[in-house]
Structures are given as C-alpha cells and as structure tokens.
Structure 1
C-alpha cells in the first residue's frame, strides 16, 4: 500500500456496532463468493449498510478524514479523462498493447488504466483508488461481462456505467481496508465465503444505486454541444458527496 501505518477506523458507536455485526456473522457453509444463501445475503446487506453509515458519520464530523473525499474527486477526474479518451478513435491507451512479450495485451491495458486513473499517491486511500481503477479495467476485458468492451470503443452508455462503478468500488475497497485493519474475523473451516469481501461488494453495489447518471443528466440538458465528459465533470462533486453519504438531503442511508 505504500505505507506501514495502520488505518484506524472511526470511534463512534455506529462503527462499534458495525464491527460487532460483522464479527458475529458466521457464513453458511453453502455460500459461495458469487452465490450467497438468502440468509447470508440479508446479513451482508445489513452489515454493509452499517459500515457505510459509520463511514458517513466519521466524514460528517471531519470531511477531510482519511483523505477520502479528495482522493475520490481526484481519481474521478482522472477516470473521466481516461474514459473520454477511450471514446475517441485510436486512443493512445490501446496502442501497441502487444509490444511487450512478457505481458499479455489485456494485462498491459489494465496496467496502463490503473496507472492513469489510480495516480501515484502513497497513502492507504490511494491504494483503494488503484484497486477501484483495477476493478473497472478488469470489467472491460473479462469475456462475457456485461461491461466488457468488445468493440474496442467506450460507448456513452458504457462510459456512464463505468463512471458510477468506479465510485462504488472505491468506497467498497476503502471499507474493505478499514475492516482488514481493524476487525479480526474467525471464519469456520470449510466456509468458502470471505465476509469482508462480501460486505465490500455490497457496499459498492449500494453506493452505485444512489449515484447520479451522467447519461441521464446529458439527456435532460437536451444539448449536443456539451460532451458527456463535461457533464460527468459537472456532476463530480455531487457524485463524490453521494458516494460518501454526506449530502445535505437528509435522506438516511439505505441498502
């Protein structure tokens, strides 16, 4: 992660309750990472919501805590630039992907994407940003994935899906790191489900659901002179605010 400093979690009661809920969760033996039992799905949803609320409360007390807000905005700005470039003919990121014999074109694309979007910061939050960037890049190249970029070009619809996915994954990865640094879990033998992975995944899914959609915003503006990237940039502050749950709408976080 670029640092050996332990990342301390929030200290309020919501954080303690979230840790307790996770520690008490004993996954069913029948659950798999891609197929949770109904009981485990409900538990993961609930625990994810608790951790999102705990993180939200910590950021409301200190908006600059963890450096998360700044990292999300800076990473989001870089993401928009990269996705916008990938919408253009012959983007530099896709050139000469097979130039290095020791790495596959797919892996080289992921490396370039993470380098461009993830930045070179050395804080723990920067590690979460790079993990989120990797998740987005991998979705573009996995055969059969709904977001796989089979045409070699990023469409408007794909741009918007990846934009929202990035912020969901960023918050999910940050919660994953918080849990790993602060919660000791004892998973029973023969249980294949990692509760931390499951909770982080549900955090990401919950975040994506509340984020603004640049495509919808562009349609509402009813103008062809504003690029999708410009719309996404205009939405960036709102997107980060909603992703972190610190908007002033007064709406309580829900799963």
Structure 2
C-alpha cells in the first residue's frame, strides 16, 4: 500500500479523507480537554459523528472504524480513563492531555489498520483464500497499526519542544489543538508511507 500511495497520494482517497478527519479530531480534542463524556460508548458515538462525518467511501468507513478502535486501544492503555469518564459529568474538567494525545496518535494508525482490514484483506480472500484461514481475525492489520502508531508525532511532546516556556500551560485547550492540527499532514504522511518510513516484519518485508 505504501508504494501505491507514494506513486499516487490520491490513491484510495485515503490521504485527503484522513487529513480532514485528523483536523476535525484536533478540534474535538480541545473540547474534550475542557469537558468529558459519561462513558466509552458516548465518546465513540461523539467521535464517529464529529470526526468520521457521513461519507460513503471505503476511506470514510475506515475513519469511523479507526476512531472506535482508537478509543478501545487507548482505554486499554489508560485503565484510569474509565474513572475519568465517570467523573466528567459532575465536574467542569475534561480528559488529561496525555490521554488525548495517545488517542490522536492511535487514530491515524488504527484508521490505516481498518482500511487494510476492509480492503486489502478482501483482495487476499479473493486471491489467496488460504491466508484467511491463517489470519481469520485480521490480525495482520492489527499488527500494522501497532507498528504505525510509533511513527505518528505526539502533540504533547511537540508542544514542549515548540513552546518550552509554556510547559505549565500545556493543559490549556487553546494550545494543543492548534499543534495537533498543524501535525496532521505529517501524521498522515507517516502512516501512509509518504515520509520515507517503511514498516517491516521480522524478515524485513515492507508492508
């Protein structure tokens, strides 16, 4: 997939769709930093609506599934997030930015993983059904997402580097959403292989 996108960034319609979704996500993270939600289900519904929009392409569908998968993955990483969700409605505070920055990074990786699961896996089923038996749950796509997340820039880390004197203000919702939005083209370029990185397996085979 990386080679195809490098040859034609508009291939699959993924680059433009994910960039726009990433910009919407950056804006939504700002509001989540000031006011949380009641449950994981409510958060997924909100993000799918605000970030995923209602496009009907395979890329649009991958974005919506990627949002939901990112929430689940971050929830596993941050067990305390469940408590934060439960407490949010009774307070004016929102979610911590370290959690939101992880959500940002997971979104891009999981969206590509979901795209691979729905599109590439279908081609594999048609061309080499035996691989479906070997990978019935699409674990290859999950593996790719795990590798990709390390390539996505972290808005929280970028904020410290960009504004070293404002370390005490990193929770301010007006700062990080802008940085997150500015990082979107680089984040999408990284996960789609437009920035020179290759995701390889144990034997050095590029994805």
| TM-score normalized with structure 2 length | 0.78
Name the CA shift for 1:146/1:123 in 2 (closer, same or farther; >3 Å).
same
TM-superposed CA distance for 1:86, in Å, is 0.6
CA–CA separation in structure 2 for the residues paired with 1:173 and 1:182: 14
Q: Which moved more, 1:67-76 or 1:107-116?
A: 107-116
Cα-to-partner distance string for 1:34-89 (whole Å, 9 max, x where unaligned): xxxxxxxxxxxxxxxxxxxxx1110111110111001110111111112211100x
Say if 1:252 and 1:135 are closer, same or farther in 2 by CA, change over 3 A: closer
Counterparts of 1:132 and 1:172 in 2: how far apart (Å)?
8
- Tell me the residue number matched to 1:179: 120
CA–CA distance in 2 between the matches of 1:200 and 1:252? 15
The match for 2:7 among 61, 66, 72 is 61
Residues in 2 aligned to 1:244 and 1:213: alpha-carbon distance in whole angstroms: 17
Greater share of helix: 2
| Per-residue deviation, 1:116 | 1.3
Is residue 27–residue 181 contact of structure 2 (8 Å, CA) maintained in 1? Answer: no
1:107 paired residue number: 41
Match for residue 161 of structure 2?
A: 220
Q: Which has the larger radius of gyration?
A: 1
What are the ranges of 5 or more consecutive residues in structure 1 without an aligned counterpart? 1-54, 98-104
Aligned length: 181
Deviations 1:153-196 (A, max 9, x none): 321111111111000001111111123321123479xx8x7455
What's the C-alpha RMSD, in Å, of the aligned pairs? 2.3
Partner of 2:31 in structure 1?
A: 85
5+ residue gaps in structure 2? 86-93, 202-207
1:74 corresponds in structure 2 to: 20
The answer as to whether partners of 1:114 and 1:137 remain within 8 angstroms in 2 is: no
Query: What SS class does the counterpart of residue 51 from structure 2 fall into?
Result: helix
Name the structure 2 match of 1:26: none
> Which residue, out of 152, 156, 166, partners 1:211?
152
2:187, 2:21 → 1: CA distance?
12
Which 4+ runs in 1 deviate beyond 4 A?
none
Partner of 1:234: 182
